[in-house]
Amino acid sequence: MSLLRRRLNQDFQTYQFSYNSVKLSPSENADKLKEFLTDIDASTIHFVGHSLGGLVIRYLFHHYPQQKPGRIVTLGTPHKYSHSAKQVSRLPAGKFFLGESIEQGLLGEMPNWSGSAELGSIAGTLRFGLDIIIPGLAVPNDGTVAVDETRLEGMSDHMTLPVSHFGLLLSTQAHTATLNFLREGKF
C-alpha cells in the first residue's frame, strides 16, 4: 500500500493502517481500525483497501456504522467467497499462512453491505498469481481473485483493469480511478 498511499498523498492527507491478518480475524482488525481512527482529526475520512483490507473496512462499517462522511475504494477485494483462499486453506501449510483471515472473511460469511457509504470496487484481469498452482479460479481474474468475487450488492461502482492482484497497488490506472472515485463517487 505504500506506493499507492504516497501517490494519494499528493491529493489527500493519508494514513496507513497496518494489521495482522494471520493472528486476528477481519472483524477483530476492524476493531483495531476503529481505535486507529480516533487519532485522526478530520471531518471526512475516505478508505482505500487492497484485498483483505477491503473486508476489514466492511467490518468496520458493520460494527461501527456511524462513520464520518467519506467514500471507500477496494482493490482486488473478494467481497464474496474466495476460491483461492479455499484452495490454499486445504494445503498442509495453507491455514498457517492464511491464519484468522479465512474465518468470517476470505471464505465468505461476511455481513451484508449496508450501503452506508459509497463503495467502489476495482478488479484486475491479468492472470498472474495463485491461478498458476490453484485450478478452478473463474475467468476473468487477477491471478488471485476472480472478477465476480469483487462484486458486492449495494456498491456504487465497479471497474476492471488489465493488472494482476498485486499490480493493483502499483498501477497508475488504479491510482487515477481511486482518485476519481474518492472525488466524484464514480470511476
Tens-digit pLDDT profile for residues 122-152: 999 999 877 677 889 999 999 999 999 999 9
Q: Is 141 helix (H, G, I), strand (E, B) or coil?
A: strand
Residue 19 lies in a domain: no
Query: How far apart are the C-alpha atoms of 43 and 45, rounded to whole Å?
Result: 7
Tens-digit pLDDT profile for residues 66-76: 999 999 999 99
| Whether residue 39 has pLDDT greater than 80 | yes
Through-space distance between the first and last CA atoms of the chain, rounded to whole angstroms: 20
Residue entry with cell 460469511: 109
Residue 150 lies in a domain: yes
Residue 58 lies in a domain: yes
State the Rg of the chain over Cα: 15
Residue 15 lies in a domain: no
Per-residue pLDDT, 131: 66
Q: Give the number of domains in the chain.
A: 1
Residue 17 lies in a domain: no
Q: At what angle do helices 26-37 and 52-63 cross, to 10 degrees?
A: 70
Other CB atoms within 10 Å distance of the CB of residue 12: 16
The alpha helices in 64-158, defined as continuous H runs, are 83-89, 94-98
Residue 20 lies in a domain: no
Per-residue pLDDT, 153: 94
**Which cell numbers hold the place of 147?**
472478477
Residue 174 lies in a domain: yes
Tell me the pTM. 0.95
Of 55, 111, 115, the closest CA to residue 85 belongs to 55
Full domain range(s) for residue 82: 2-10+28-36+44-184
Q: What is the CATH number of the domain that holds 127?
A: 3.40.50.1820
Residue 18 lies in a domain: no
